Chain A
Amino acid sequence: MAFEPRIVAFACNWCSYAGADLAGVSRLQYPPNIRTIRVMCSGRISPGLILKAFEKGADGVFVSGCHIGDCHYSFGNRRAEHQVEKARKLISLLGIEPERLKLEWISATEGEKFASSVTEFVERIRKLGRSPIKSES
């Protein structure tokens, strides 16, 4: 069977999750490979959560939050930047390609950006193939 990437997307409630919603109601097409998890702020994301997604079988992890300056809790997205960078270093040490983790700022009005970023990311992961920590079956 052809490889279908499994992707976990963490989306901030106030912006990217609403962005995803807008993409939906605007009937924009994006691949069904993502499982979206809503968080109250991208600052909630920690390396532990990202690693857990990979451990449980994700081929890629997509983190999205409000644009810098727009976080509803002031600096949550700044924190997210640090945490994602830490997670990127950790997955590299664990032999998972750093490109399998992506951080993107998407506002509530950017339904189109949500759809296109996700589409692009799914394609990237499709090229990379199955996560190296998963067995063939």
Chain B
Amino acid sequence: MGEALSSLSPKELAQKTRAYLCLDCSKCTASCPLGRLGVTYSPRSFVQHLLINDEGPDEASLWRCLTCGLCHERCPSDVDFPVFIRELRSKAIEQGKMPHPTHSETIQEVMRILAKPETKPQRTSWLSDWVPVIDGKSGQKVEDIYFVGCSPYLETIFEHFNLSLLDTHLSALELLRLCGVKPYVLRDERCCGHDALWSGDTELFMRLASINVELWRSIGARRIFVSCPEGYHTLSTVYPDHFDFPFEVINTVKFLAERLEFQPTKIEKVSVTYLDSCRMGRYGGIYDEPRLLLKNIAGVDLVEMEMNRENAPCCGSNLWINCDGISKKLQNACLDQAIQTGAGVLVCPCDKCRIHLACAQLENGFLNETIRTENILSFLYRKGVNNLG
């Protein structure tokens, strides 16, 4: 994204996101998961209307896009509609408009409190004893950092889903240790700001990001390991555009795929399917590594969903805004595809996808519970290393 794009006019923005190269093929409209569910949503005509009329975007459409990236993926002219919409949102927020937050704005409030320099988070008590924790202001210098992100807060907010979100990070740290890496966890780390950025609150995003970058600088970090796909996308591609960024951001799954060898103690057959969450797949281009890891576990049978890799379905909700019946339909459609594979476990790299899917499962009275979701890192550690059944 380079400089803050939100200062650009819609026309300049269209230039930046290549919207002027649009061929009017309507692939985007046909691809959009919203359109498939009967909501009229056309990226193509949205941009066109905006450029022709001076009225500004209609608000419903402005917040409706899931930024899933499928239209961008399929567009023959590489029109980056998600970034177009993100920057329009940023402008809208500057004008005092607001999307509808979900969960009574709890997650936005967590971000706002974390964006205060005075805040001293206390969110590391769940870590295993061997994991080294470091205070950003301690003056200590360390090279490897493990970025946890918002999981401790999400685990608290969604504890009734029983998703064990912290298990993801405990497993990741154990797996990294098996590869000889023992990164530190930073006590005062902030949330990466992904959701603030994509819902248009650029100011909040920048406040969170600058605290993080400052902390990494002061401890002399060199490598930052990230398991959350949104965090990885944000740290590896958005932060470097805004800051002097001498850090190497490493995706845990990708890193493990090159190094980890499994030696299971007992082999038990299990059939799994894998969801290419948008920030991991379409945004991060990480498709093969998780599959390689899964296939390397003896006894694991990986069956693909009908839509996979670049075409993977959307988990139905994003950024903790605008969740409604459409979101539920998308979530159920995603779960249905997973169930149709006959797999017992839907392995997923993104815990936010798991939260949204669990929400639909709960709403259905767990009718869909013929399948359960598990984070890929927890699954790898449980099945590949420990074989805890």
Contacts and interface: CB of A to CB of B under 8 A. Distances in A.
The residue among B103, B109, B156, B159 with the most chain A CB atoms within 10 A of its own CB is B109
A95 B117 CA distance: 12
Main secondary structure of the interface of A (DSSP, over half): helix
B104 interface: yes
A90 B108 CA distance: 13
Main secondary structure of the interface of B (DSSP, over half): helix
B103 A134 contact: no
Contacts of A40: none
Contacts, number: 63
Interface string B95-127: 000000101111011101110111111110000
B121 A95 contact: yes
Given A47-B157, A55-B112, A94 B121 contact: yes
A93 interface: yes
A51 B110 contact: yes
Contact of A133 (B113, B123, B159): B113
A47 B104 CA distance: 8
B322 to A, nearest CB: 16
Nearest to A93: B123
Contacts of A90: 106, 110, 153, 156-157
Contact of B109 (A55, A89, A95, A135): A55
B109 A52 contact: yes
Nearest to A82: B160
Contacts of B110: 51, 90, 94
Contacts of B108: 48
B122 to A, nearest CB: 5
Interface of B: 101, 103-106, 108-110, 112-114, 116-123, 152-153, 156-157, 159
19 contacts: A47-B109, A48-B104, A48-B106, A55-B112, A55-B116, A86-B157, A86-B159, A89-B156, A90-B156, A92-B122, A93-B122, A93-B153, A95-B122, A132-B118, A132-B119, A132-B120, A133-B116, A133-B118, A134-B118
